[in-house]
């Protein structure tokens, strides 16, 4: 050991001799580990202060941008304006086309939201409430070409009307569909439903009425120009078709 | 808290590692010296206290995975890493403020000796980080060359080179007190 190293050693030891931790010496390892010191808290807060401030600044910066974007954007994911017309005995709805039975009229009864409802009725529809005819509910296309599936009526019917009977799995307008009836008792009056399995279209009748006209509309559906393309199946058929009674 | 200091105050016992140490025995042997090492490395008593606490907490948590023969360098490595991270976070190298001489240091010679020791300490504190680490670990913590290398995660030759550079620097700045 040379002299300078010895001087450094002595100097460091002597100058450190009276230095004591702010909390004093711990008497045991348990005491040391059990201590919660202000210094520890301040270091912990230092550790997280910068990330927290950065995160808050990011959120504060992003929120106005998001708000501006939301205001500027004319709902690219939302439905576009409905194009509806009745011409030459056929309804045209966003490119979807179906026949109107002779002497019947068709109006849009619900045109906002993710779907459009058309009431095809032998009487002048009131435009509100239940449709006294055949109801055609079509998903509204969005700018991006997607759509929000219409809930399957068989799984969204009232608890008292759970008598659902699968009548067939036949294509409608060239797209996969199921046909079923719903009644509120085993021998109750049945509503008929045609439901595209991607949830894009539902055709339904009132209880025990207008089955023939509904079939005429379904048979005459033309989906070739419809703005909504075939989507993924929204229902899975788990029972075999039964004969209608 | 003189009990702990008295127990581990002897240099001989601190330098001889136990055959089969436990966290508690390492605490008794190394706590005070490790704390003062941390104070030399970070120059902040509060931070040093916390770093030592973290070092022992980490040692206890990983005791099953730590090579017990290298537990002491492991502790010093934790302190070095803790000090380095803290300094990096704080981005400051605080100027050393010498302690106020305590009561009872009336003799002029004692004051002079004390002042000289403080000058040495201050000179060490002003060394570049790596040089400061090797000086503190070798001449204050009394770690062997290999243990310093282990603690700093560098090769022993790098420790020797850094030590020589540090001594050269100290000689140049401390002619009047070295």
State the DSSP string of A215-234: HHHHHT-B-TT-SSPP----
Q: Are residues B142 and B177 in the same domain?
A: yes
Whether A235 is covered by a domain: the verdict is: no
CA atoms within 13 A on the CB side of B49: 22
Residue numbers of B between 106 and 125 with CB closer than 8 Å to A: 113-114, 116-121, 124
Whether B110 is covered by a domain: the verdict is: yes
The arithmetic mean of pLDDT across residues A172-182, rounded, is 89
Q: Are residues A108 and A187 in the same domain?
A: yes
Q: Are residues A67 and A88 in the same domain?
A: no
Q: Are residues B88 and B110 in the same domain?
A: no
Q: Is the per-residue pLDDT at B53 higher than 50?
A: yes
Query: Which chain B residues are within 8 Å of A21, Cβ to Cβ?
Result: 35, 45, 48-49, 52
Chain A contact residues (CB < 8 Å to B): 4-5, 7-16, 18-29, 32-33, 35, 37-40, 42-43, 46-47
Q: Closest by alpha carbon to B163, among B155, B174, B82, B119?
A: B155
Domain that holds residue B2: 1-94
Q: Rounded to whole angstroms, how far apart are CA atoms A44 and A182?
A: 63
Whether B99 is covered by a domain: the verdict is: no
Q: Are residues A104 and A51 in the same domain?
A: no
How many C-beta atoms surround the C-beta of residue A239 within 10 A?
9
Whether A240 is covered by a domain: the verdict is: no
Whether B50 is covered by a domain: the verdict is: yes
Whether B33 is covered by a domain: the verdict is: yes
Phi-psi region of B39 (alpha: psi -120 to 50; beta: other; left: phi over 0): alpha
| Pairwise CB contact (< 8 Å): B46 & A4 | no
Q: Are residues A23 and A133 in the same domain?
A: no
pLDDT at residue B31 in the model: 93
* Nearest chain A residue to B88, by CA: A47
* Nearest chain A residue to B117, by CA: A11
**Span B119-145, pLDDT tens digits:** 999 999 999 999 999 999 999 999 999
Check if the beta carbon of residue A142 is closer than 8 Å to that of residue A76. yes
Count up the domains in chain A and report the number.
2
* Nearest chain B residue to A31, by CA: B53
Whether A118 is covered by a domain: the verdict is: yes
pLDDT at residue A71 in the model: 56
Q: Closest by alpha carbon to B38, among A22, A69, A38?
A: A22
pLDDT at residue A241 in the model: 59
| Pairwise CB contact (< 8 Å): A33 & B178 | no
Q: Are residues B85 and B1 in the same domain?
A: yes
* Packing angle of the helix pair A38-72, B71-90 (nearest 10 deg): 50
Domain that holds residue A117: 84-219
Check if the beta carbon of residue A127 is closer than 8 Å to that of residue A149. no
Q: Rounded to whole angstroms, how far apart are CA atoms B108 and A114?
A: 93
Picking from B65, B94, B123, the residue at the C-terminal end of a domain is: B94
Residue-wise over B90-108: b if at least 16 C-beta within 10 A, else e?
eeeeeebeeeeeeeeeeee
Check if the beta carbon of residue A112 is closer than 8 Å to that of residue A104. no
Q: Are residues B44 and B76 in the same domain?
A: yes
Picking from A72, A100, A120, the residue at the C-terminal end of a domain is: A72
| Pairwise CB contact (< 8 Å): B167 & A5 | yes
Q: Is the per-residue pLDDT at A220 higher than 90?
A: yes
Whether A58 is covered by a domain: the verdict is: yes
Picking from B72, B94, B116, the residue at the C-terminal end of a domain is: B94
Q: Are residues A107 and A134 in the same domain?
A: yes
Q: Rounded to whole angstroms, how far apart are CA atoms A220 and A138?
A: 15
ipTM confidence: 0.76
Q: How many A-B residue pairs are in contact by the CB < 8 A criterion?
A: 115
How many C-beta atoms surround the C-beta of residue B45 within 10 A?
18
Q: Are residues A125 and A197 in the same domain?
A: yes
Q: Is the per-residue pLDDT at A37 higher than 60?
A: no
Whether A42 is covered by a domain: the verdict is: yes
Count up the domains in chain B and report the number.
2
- Which residue among A11, A27, A40 sits closest to B117, beta carbon to beta carbon? A11
Q: Are residues A96 and A151 in the same domain?
A: yes
Which of these ranges, A24-38, B59-73, B124-138, has the smallest mean pLDDT?
A24-38
**Span A62-80, pLDDT tens digits:** 777 777 666 554 444 555 5
Q: Are residues A93 and A62 in the same domain?
A: no
Q: Are residues B154 and B73 in the same domain?
A: no
Q: Are residues A95 and A158 in the same domain?
A: yes
- pLDDT category at A48 given cuts 50, 70, 90 is low
The arithmetic mean of pLDDT across residues B25-51, rounded, is 90
| Pairwise CB contact (< 8 Å): A4 & B178 | yes
Residue-wise over B126-146: b if at least 16 C-beta within 10 A, else e?
ebeebbbbbbbbbbbbbbeee
Q: Are residues B87 and B37 in the same domain?
A: yes
Whether B70 is covered by a domain: the verdict is: yes
Whether B73 is covered by a domain: the verdict is: yes
CA distance A45 to chain B (A): 12
CA distance A33 to chain B (A): 6
CA distance A61 to chain B (A): 26
- Which residue among B47, B99, B116 sits closest to A11, beta carbon to beta carbon? B116
Which CATH number do you get for residue B116?
1.10.10.10
- Which residue among A12, A25, A46 sits closest to B4, beta carbon to beta carbon? A25
Mutation target to probe the A interface, by most A beta carbons within 10 A, among B7, B15, B36 is B36
Q: Are residues B68 and B7 in the same domain?
A: yes
| Pairwise CB contact (< 8 Å): B53 & A14 | no
Query: Which chain B residues are within 8 Å of A9, Cβ to Cβ?
Result: 139-140
- Is some CB atom of chain A closer than 8 A to the CB atom of B46? yes
pLDDT at residue B100 in the model: 47
Picking from B66, B94, B122, the residue at the C-terminal end of a domain is: B94
Q: Are residues A125 and A184 in the same domain?
A: yes
């Amino acid at each position: 050991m040379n002299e300078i190293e010895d001087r450094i050693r002595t100097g460091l030891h002597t100058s450190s001799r009276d230095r004591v931790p702010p909390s004093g010496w711990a008497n045991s390892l348990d005491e040391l580990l059990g201590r919660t010191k202000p210094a520890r808290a301040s270091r912990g807060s230092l550790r997280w202060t910068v990330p927290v401030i950065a995160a808050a600044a990011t959120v504060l910066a992003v929120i106005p941008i998001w708000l501006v974007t939301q205001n500027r954007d004319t709902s690219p994911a939302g439905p576009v304006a409905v194009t509806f017309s009745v011409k030459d005995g056929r309804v045209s709805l966003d490119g979807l086309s179906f026949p109107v039975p002779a002497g019947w009229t068709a109006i849009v009864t619900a045109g906002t939201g993710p779907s459009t409802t058309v009431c095809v009725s032998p009487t002048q529809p009131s435009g509100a409430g239940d449709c006294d005819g055949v109801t055609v509910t079509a998903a509204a296309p969005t700018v991006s070409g997607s759509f929000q599936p219409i809930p399957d009526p068989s799984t969204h019917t009232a608890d008292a009307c759970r008598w659902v009977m699968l009548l067939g799995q036949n294509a409608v307008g060239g797209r996969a569909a199921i046909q079923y009836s719903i009644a509120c008792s085993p021998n109750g009056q049945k509503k008929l439903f045609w439901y595209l399995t991607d949830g894009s279209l539902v055709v339904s009748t009132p209880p025990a009425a207008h089955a023939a006209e509904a079939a005429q509309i379904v048979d005459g559906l033309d989906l070739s120009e419809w703005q909504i393309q075939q989507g993924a199946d929204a229902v899975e058929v788990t029972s075999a078709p039964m004969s209608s009674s | 808290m003189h009990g702990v200091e008295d127990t581990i105050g002897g240099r001989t016992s601190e330098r001889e590692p136990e055959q089969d140490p436990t966290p508690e025995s390492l605490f008794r042997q190394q706590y005070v010296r490790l704390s003062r090492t941390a104070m030399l490395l970070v120059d902040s008593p509060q931070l040093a206290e916390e770093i030592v606490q973290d070092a022992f907490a980490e040692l206890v948590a990983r005791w099953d995975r730590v090579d017990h023969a290298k537990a002491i360098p492991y502790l010093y490595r934790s302190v070095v890493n803790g000090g380095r991270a803290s300094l990096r976070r704080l981005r400051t190298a605080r100027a050393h403020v010498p302690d106020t001489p305590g009561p009872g240091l009336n003799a002029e010679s004692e004051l002079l000796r004390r002042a000289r020791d403080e000058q040495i300490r201050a000179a060490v504190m002003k060394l570049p980080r790596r040089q400061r680490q090797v000086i503190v670990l070798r001449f204050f913590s009394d770690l062997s060359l290999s243990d310093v290398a282990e603690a700093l995660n560098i090769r022993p030759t790098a420790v020797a080179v850094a030590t020589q550079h540090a001594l050269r620097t100290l000689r140049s700045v401390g002619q009047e007190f070295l």
